[in-house]
């Protein structure tokens, strides 16, 4: 494989690795979302540094150029990551919906009980400035 | 028999007062609950002004989610029957007695208003008519029962049905033919009842622009996966 392609691939792999670590360190990314990213970065590093493995895979796939194999694997991982996020987002959507419905029902209940016991509505804006 | 009318409303300040007035004139003895789905206008205030119950979503969740909030409310507060009616004035509260009458039959779990069971002068646009015939045909085949208005959300549901809707993964947007197929698979007995349908009194329907294409896709997909899933097992109370 062309040495420049190899250097580029190693840099991309290292770049992803460092970025992910840094994001977790700063608590901007949760550990559970990082698994596939680490797998991608390590996959790219292993394939670009361990040339016999890459050659073997290239022959297996019937691809002409080893770099194609490398980027093919990168692409597959990106598809997996997107799918993973779609699943997570779907779950979050359901959870947000349930929470909003629950908040709506509880808030109705609070105002109903308040009306029954004739406790005046709380006014957070004005009361908090006095305390 | 405690009956609750749930009225999902999104930016319906124009038509809501009319609907609520008609409710008190033609469906006395029925409690009303407006589910304000994160409206940007004065929908909630309009409803509170006439003294009906209001549940407000903090954000817009969609018409289906608003209906489900109504089912959850009815479940918690021990209602026996839920009537679902739109806030845009398209459904006529004068038809509620016939919906309720259909439920007096022991063998009926849900009464669904149909615009097409009798000709009452409702004329959909050509595009809509094609889409509706497609889903009516599909629902008729899949339920083995004549479905003439699969898009109708004007209905009366007995407790087991709205309990099922409250607890399931209910659609948040369109409530359509997929629900008819699901109800059949869950073993509920559905009867269609002839109702009138009027033009909207104000606001606008969300089925416009690019939405129809997405709508056909989504409901078709939903029917497919409903058939692929195991039939729901119900825990009867
Ligand atoms: N369009 C829209 N309607 C909503 C929403 N949430 C609740 N609704 C209510 O759901 C009902 C049906 O909506 P509509 O747009 O008239 O649907 P259509 O009659 O099937 O064309 C109305 O009472 C709306 O106010 C929402 O997010 N969007
Ligand atoms: Mg409507």
- The DSSP bridge pattern shows strands B53-56 and B110-114 to be unpaired
**String of DSSP letters for B102-148:** HHTSTT-SEEEEESTTTT-S----HHHHHHHHHHHHHHHHHHTS--S
The tokens for A8 are 């580029």
Question: Which residues are CB-contacts of B232 (< 8 A; sequence separation ≥ 6)?
Answer: B164, B168, B182, B185, B186
Quote the pLDDT of residue A87.
95
The residues pairing with B114 across neighbouring beta strands, listed in sequence order, are: B194
Q: Between A40 and A93, where is the model more confident?
A: A93
Instruction: Point out the least confidently predicted range of A22-26, A60-64, B25-29, B232-236.
Output: B232-236
Residue A90 and residue A96: Cα distance in Å, rounded? 10
Whether residues A10 and A43 fall in one domain: yes
- Cβ of B66 closer than 6 Å to ligand 1, yes or no, is yes
Quote the pLDDT of residue B236.
56
Residue B3 and residue B9: Cα distance in Å, rounded? 19
Ligand 1 center–CA B204 separation, angstroms = 8
Quote the pLDDT of residue B43.
95
The shortest CB-CB distance from A104 to any of B56, B76, B169 is to B56
Report, as an integer, the average pLDDT of A10-21: 94
Neighbour order of strands in the sheet with B110-114: B53-56, B31-36, B3-9, B81-84, B155-158, B110-114, B190-194
CB contact under 8 A, A101 and B169: no
Number of CB atoms found within 10 A of residue B220's CB = 15
**DSSP state for residue B197 in the 8-state scheme:** B
Q: Tell me how many domains chain A contains.
A: 2
Question: Which of B120, B100, B91 minimizes the C-alpha distance to B18?
Answer: B91
Determine whether domain B3-228 maps to CATH 3.90.550.10: yes
Domain layout of chain B by residue ranges: 3-228
Contact B75, B4 (CB under 8 A): no
Residue of A100, A110, A116 to mutate for B, most B C-beta atoms under 10 A: A100
In a domain, A131, yes or no: no
- Where helices occur in chain A by DSSP H, the ranges are 3-25, 35-49, 51-61, 66-117, 124-130
Question: Which of B56, B65, B237, B64 minimizes the C-alpha distance to B163?
Answer: B237
pLDDT tens string, chain B, 237 residues long: the values are 899 999 999 999 999 999 999 999 999 889 999 999 999 999 999 999 999 999 999 999 999 999 999 999 999 999 999 999 999 999 999 999 999 999 999 999 999 999 998 887 777 778 778 888 999 999 999 999 999 999 999 999 999 999 999 999 999 999 999 999 999 999 999 999 999 988 776 665 666 667 778 888 999 999 999 999 888 877 555
Whether residues A42 and A83 fall in one domain: no
In a domain, A26, yes or no: yes
Question: Which of B156, B164, B117 minimizes the C-alpha distance to B136?
Answer: B117
Question: Which of B186, B155, B199 minimizes the C-alpha distance to B67?
Answer: B155
Ligand 1 center–CA A47 separation, angstroms = 53
Query: A15 lies in which domain range?
Result: 1-49
Using DSSP's 3-state secondary structure scheme, residue B36 falls into: strand
Q: What is the mean pLDDT of chain A?
A: 87
Report, as an integer, the average pLDDT of A59-84: 88
Ligand 1 atom 10, closest CA? B63
Confidence of residue A127 (pLDDT cuts 50, 70, 90): very low
Contact B1, B80 (CB under 8 A): yes
Quote the pLDDT of residue B60.
97
**String of DSSP letters for B39-100:** -SSSHHHHHHHTT-EEEE-SS---HHHHHHHHHHHHHHTT-SEEEE--TTS-B-GGGHHHHH
Q: Write the ipTM.
A: 0.89
Contact B15, B42 (CB under 8 A): no
Which ligand is closest in space to the CA of residue B208?
1
Instruction: Report pLDDT digits (tens) over B180-217.
Output: 999 999 999 999 999 998 877 666 566 666 777 888 89
Contact B83, B5 (CB under 8 A): yes
Q: Please determine, for residue A131, whether its predicted confidence score (pLDDT) is greater than 60.
A: no
Whether residues A42 and A78 fall in one domain: no
Quote the pLDDT of residue A130.
45
In a domain, A91, yes or no: yes
List the single residue in A with minimal CA-CA distance to B36: A104
Backbone Cα Rg of chain B: 17
Whether residues A40 and A77 fall in one domain: no
The shortest CB-CB distance from B68 to any of A101, A103, A108 is to A101
CB contact under 8 A, B58 and A101: no
The tokens for B54 are 């209001």
Whether residues A41 and A77 fall in one domain: no
Alpha-carbon dihedral sign for residues B180, B186, B192, B196: negative
């Amino acid at each position: 494989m062309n040495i420049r392609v190899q250097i580029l691939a190693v840099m991309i792999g290292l770049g992803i690795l460092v970025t992910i670590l840094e994001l977790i360190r700063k608590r901007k990314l949760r550990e559970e979302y990082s698994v596939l990213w680490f797998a991608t970065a390590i996959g790219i590093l292993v394939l670009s540094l361990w040339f016999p493995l890459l050659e073997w895979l290239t022959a297996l796939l019937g691809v002409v150029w080893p770099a194609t194999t490398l980027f093919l694997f990168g692409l597959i991982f990106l598809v997996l990551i997107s799918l993973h996020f779609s699943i997570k987002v779907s779950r979050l959507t359901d959870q947000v919906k349930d929470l909003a419905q629950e908040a709506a029902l509880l808030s109705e209940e609070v105002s109903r009980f308040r009306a029954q016991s004739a406790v005046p509505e709380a006014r957070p804006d004005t009361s908090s400035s006095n305390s | 028999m405690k009956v609750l009318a749930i009225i999902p409303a999104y930016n319906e300040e124009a038509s809501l007062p009319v609907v609520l007035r008609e409710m008190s004139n033609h469906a006395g003895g029925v409690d009303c609950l407006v589910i304000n789905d994160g409206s940007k206008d004065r929908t909630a205030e309009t409803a509170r002004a006439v003294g009906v119950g209001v549940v407000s979503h903090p954000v817009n969740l969609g018409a289906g989610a608003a209906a489900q909030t109504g089912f959850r409310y009815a479940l918690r507060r021990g209602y026996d029957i839920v009537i679902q009616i739109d806030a845009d004035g398209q459904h006529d509260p004068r038809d509620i007695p016939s919906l309720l009458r259909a439920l007096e039959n022991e063998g009926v779990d849900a009464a669904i208003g149909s615009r097409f069971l009798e000709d009452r002068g409702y004329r959909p646009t050509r595009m809509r008519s094609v889409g509706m015939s497609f889903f009516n045909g599909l629902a008729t085949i899949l339920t083995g029962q004549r479905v003439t208005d699969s898009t109708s959300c004007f209905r009366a549901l007995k407790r087991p049905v709205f309990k099922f809707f409250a607890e399931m993964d209910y659609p948040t947007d369109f409530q359509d033919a997929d629900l008819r197929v699901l109800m059949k698979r869950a073993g509920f007995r559905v009867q269609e009842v002839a109702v009138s349908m009027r033009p909207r009194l104000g606001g606008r329907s969300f089925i416009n622009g690019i939405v129809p294409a997405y709508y056909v896709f989504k409901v078709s997909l939903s029917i497919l996966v409903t058939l692929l899933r195991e039939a729901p097992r119900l825990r009867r109370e």
